[in-house]
Structure 1
Amino acid sequence: MPDLCLDRAAVAAALGEQLPDTILAKLFPDYALAELRAVLRGQQKTACPLTPAVQQQSLFAEPAAGSGLACKLFTDGASRGNPGEAGAGSVLLDGDGQELAARSFYLGKCTNNVAEYKALIMGLQSVLESGCGRVEIFLDSQLIVRQIQGQYKVKHPALKPLFEEVKELLAKIDSWTVAHVPREQNKRADELANQGIDERRN
């Protein structure tokens, strides 16, 4: 008969693989999700709190008075060439998955990372305009997500002012989380980003 006993490390590693981002964010709102998973998997010993300037808030914390709707935001930037002609797309959904706002915008020539940041800024503006007080944010750019979570520093001079603008917009939202999603789960925002380029070309 096979040994069915589990030790603490095996249980923690399994939790690291299976627990969704929303649960981890609820349990440990001051810590980067990637670091928490690395600890659970035994890849590192400790996880340190995010810096206050980019601290990720828990979507499931008690909402502030008048915090408004709970929403989901998907954003994407597209650049045909790097740099190249670029567009931004964002789609904001309510709790039932219905579109509250969908936007596309032509950005001119810029890098893909600049386009990703500008798409996020456009999406956050939709959040504030729509009265969403709690929002789950999803991007398919791991770099941007990790910069917002405080795991990576923003070193490129073209990205620093965009990062600061994102921080200012996030500070106006009562509760938020940010997470990476595969590109196939971000199709609507990608469609809108490419639509921004195509509309400019037509």
Structure 2
Amino acid sequence: MLFVDGSANAGRRGAGLVLAEPDKFLVEYALKLDFDAYNNEAEYEALLAGLALALELEAGRLKAYNDSQLVVGHINGLYEAKDRRMLKYLEKVRGKISFFKEFEIVQISRTLNARADTLSKMASSETTSWGNVYTEVLSHPSIEREEATHIYHEPSWMDP
């Protein structure tokens, strides 16, 4: 399960995510966005970071939760992405989604997304230390960065 949220206000932007396997594993992540971004762009940054983390942990199935009606609507095909930047974000998300065996994204209320919301607001604050929360500062939008393709291969010592 992946919970994501973005925050953009008063010149500060952040994104938060919580990745959890039911009753087992929990990772909290806060991204300080050190570039101009609107709220929906911050939402997409949180989702992209969560998808990347889930892929890195080799998750095969993922159910994502977000409180942004626009972002969830884009991904589920309910809304058309018309803005050039939103279209780039949507394309990047769809590329990452294609690596999962199963993927679903669901819109939830802000109250059910409270922890990711808190993380996004922490990341958009002036605070620099957040305890046991993984943190990162992004200096450029994800849609402007090239990424290496992940190729998974079993070690050669396992070959017959």
Distance 1:78 1:142 in 2: 14
Distance 2:2 2:76 in 1: 16
Q: TM-score, normalised by structure 1?
A: 0.60
TM-superposed CA distance for 1:201, in Å, is 7.0
Instruction: Indicate whether 1:78 and 2:43 are aligned.
Output: no
- Residue in 2 that maps onto 1:168: 95
Q: CA RMSD in A?
A: 1.6
Q: SS at 1:76's partner residue?
A: strand
- Residue in 2 that maps onto 1:58: none
TM-superposed CA distance for 1:191, in Å, is 1.1
Q: SS at 2:84's partner residue?
A: coil
Question: Structure 1 counterpart of 2:8, which letter?
Answer: S
TM-superposed CA distance for 1:155, in Å, is 0.5
Distance 2:126 2:4 in 1: 18
Q: 1:91-127: CA deviations, max 9, x gaps?
A: 100022641x211111133100111111100110111
Alignment of structure 1 residues 77-96 onto 2, 5 Å: 77-81=6-10, 84-96=11-23
Give 1:198's match in structure 2, choosing from 98, 103, 125.
125
- Larger Rg computed on CA atoms: 1
Aligned pairs, number: 128
Instruction: Say which structure is richer in helix.
Output: 1
Percent identical residues: 34
Structure showing greater relative contact order (alpha-carbon pairs closer than 8 Å, 6 or more residues apart): 2
Q: Please list every run of 5 or more consecutive structure 2 residues that lacks an aligned counterpart in the other structure.
A: 130-160
Q: SS at 1:179's partner residue?
A: strand
Alignment of structure 1 residues 19-168 onto 2, 5 Å: 72-81=1-10, 84-96=11-23, 98-99=25-26, 101-108=27-34, 109-168=36-95
